[in-house]
């Protein structure tokens, strides 16, 4: 199966919208669960099964961010898509840099509003300075990641345009080996002196998205489903081992560079690319609507999670059942209010060029 034709434009758009929208929903859930375990560590680790359940939920949701990056790769590495230097800097890089500055300052203001200790000029200016250092709110790391990917996009696009399927597989194999597999030797305290001259796993995700979109149609939906299921089951089983036996060395398996997350996320993205071109028009309409607001939802949702936990003192564990209903309520609260906020921001001059 070669690359998609222009006549497949609508199907392609639906595939990307569906995957981004679903990933957006689960990213909000991921950050909510993670925030819950940090805000209520005593209750989150009260029993073994509660601790295991929380960690499994977090580790099972890592796939969502890589899927965002894979959609970016599938879109922007297409040779037919025009991405010149002017468009790159004025549209892509400028938008993300503006989001980092505007929302970094906004979050510093919110900290000052809700935290008396931040209501001094040195504390506030320190919060603003963290926009440059990258130590602003944790979920903002993704924007800094995007800037790096965008800046190297002209080189990545030339590689993608000149690469055959075999070349792309070779590139993915090298990235995957050095950025995902070899680091696992640390589980057994085995040092490795070999490395390649790249810093992170994220270019791998970019090219994997491109590969799955262009050549991934050779695998069946059943195969992708099996990949996603295998990654999901292994992550859950090894998370149980990690928590129950306090096997800290296994933490290498629970990150965006984990081979298990790669297996799971590749399965989800490949299955989505194959299935999103089929029926369910009403579902697609809902997901397309979420996708239009996904960037704004990502930027602002943590403000509402913090509002609920830190300032309204909502305890998700008060609803029982190990905190699961309370976490879902918090995630829904944050998602809905972030969606409404994004609708409002799209009408404001300062924000509409960002979201």
**Structure-block tokens of residue 140:** 């903002």
- 270 versus 217: the higher-pLDDT residue is 270
The predicted structure's pLDDT at residue 7: 44
**pTM to 2 decimal places:** 0.92
303-337, pLDDT tens digit by residue?
999 999 988 899 999 998 888 999 999 999 999 99
State yes or no: pLDDT of 113 exceeds 90.
no
C-alpha 167/C-alpha 179 separation (Å) is: 18
- Local confidence band at 276 (pLDDT 50, 70, 90 cut-offs): low
232-255, pLDDT tens digit by residue?
999 999 999 999 999 999 999 999
- Local confidence band at 283 (pLDDT 50, 70, 90 cut-offs): confident
The predicted structure's pLDDT at residue 4: 46
C-alpha 43/C-alpha 303 separation (Å) is: 22
24-80, pLDDT tens digit by residue?
999 999 999 999 999 999 999 989 999 999 999 999 999 999 999 999 999 999 998
76-105, pLDDT tens digit by residue?
999 988 899 999 999 999 999 999 999 998
| Arithmetic mean of pLDDT over the chain | 91
The predicted structure's pLDDT at residue 243: 95
57 in a domain, yes or no? Answer: yes
Find the mean pLDDT for residues 108-131: 77
- Closest residue by Cα to residue 323 from 99, 127, 41, 111: 41
- 31 versus 109: the higher-pLDDT residue is 31
The predicted structure's pLDDT at residue 2: 44
Window from 8-22, 143-157, 181-195 with minimum mean pLDDT: 8-22
342 in a domain, yes or no? Answer: yes
Tally of domains in the chain: 1
State yes or no: pLDDT of 124 exceeds 80.
no
48 in a domain, yes or no? Answer: yes
The predicted structure's pLDDT at residue 34: 96
10 in a domain, yes or no? Answer: no
Domain of residue 347, residue span: 18-352
The predicted structure's pLDDT at residue 11: 61
The predicted structure's pLDDT at residue 8: 52
C-alpha 335/C-alpha 49 separation (Å) is: 27
170-212, pLDDT tens digit by residue?
999 999 999 999 999 999 989 888 889 888 999 999 999 999 9
134 in a domain, yes or no? Answer: yes
- 116 versus 169: the higher-pLDDT residue is 169
C-alpha 81/C-alpha 115 separation (Å) is: 46
Window from 22-26, 132-136, 165-169 with minimum mean pLDDT: 132-136
262 in a domain, yes or no? Answer: yes
9 in a domain, yes or no? Answer: no
């Amino acid at each position: 199966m070669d690359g998609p034709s222009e006549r497949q434009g609508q199907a392609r758009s639906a595939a990307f919208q569906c995957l981004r929208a679903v990933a957006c929903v689960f990213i909000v859930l991921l950050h909510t669960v993670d925030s819950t375990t940090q805000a209520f560590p005593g209750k989150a680790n009260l029993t073994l099964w509660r601790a295991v359940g929380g960690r499994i939920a977090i580790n099972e949701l890592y796939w969502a961010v890589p899927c965002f990056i894979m959609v970016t790769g599938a879109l922007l590495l297409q040779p037919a898509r025009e991405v010149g230097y002017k468009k790159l800097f004025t549209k892509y890089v400028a938008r993300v840099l503006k989001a980092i500055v505007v929302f970094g300052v906004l979050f510093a203001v919110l900290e000052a509003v809700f935290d008396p200790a931040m209501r001094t000029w040195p504390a506030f200016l320190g919060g603003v300075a963290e926009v440059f250092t990258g130590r602003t709110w944790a979920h903002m790391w993704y924007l800094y990641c995007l800037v790096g990917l965008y800046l190297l996009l002209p080189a990545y696009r030339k590689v993608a345009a000149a690469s055959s399927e075999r070349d792309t597989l070779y590139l993915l194999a090298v990235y995957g080996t050095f950025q995902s597999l070899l680091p696992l030797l640390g589980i057994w305290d085995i040092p490795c002196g070999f490395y390649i001259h790249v810093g992170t796993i994220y270019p791998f995700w970019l090219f994997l998205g491109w590969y799955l979109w262009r050549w991934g149609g050779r695998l069946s939906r059943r195969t992708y489903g099996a990949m996603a299921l295998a990654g999901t089951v292994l992550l859950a089983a090894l998370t149980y081992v990690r928590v129950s036996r306090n096997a800290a060395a296994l933490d290498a398996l629970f990150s965006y560079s984990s081979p298990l997350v790669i297996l799971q996320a590749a399965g989800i993205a490949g299955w989505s690319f194959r299935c999103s071109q089929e029926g369910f028009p009403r579902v697609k309409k809902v997901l397309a609507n979420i996708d239009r607001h996904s960037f704004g939802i990502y930027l602002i949702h943590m403000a509402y999670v913090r509002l609920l936990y830190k300032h309204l003192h909502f305890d998700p564990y008060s609803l029982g059942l190990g905190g699961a209903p309370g976490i879902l309520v918090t995630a829904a609260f944050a998602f809905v209010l972030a969606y409404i906020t994004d609708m409002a921001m799209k009408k404001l001059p300062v924000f509409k060029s960002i979201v």
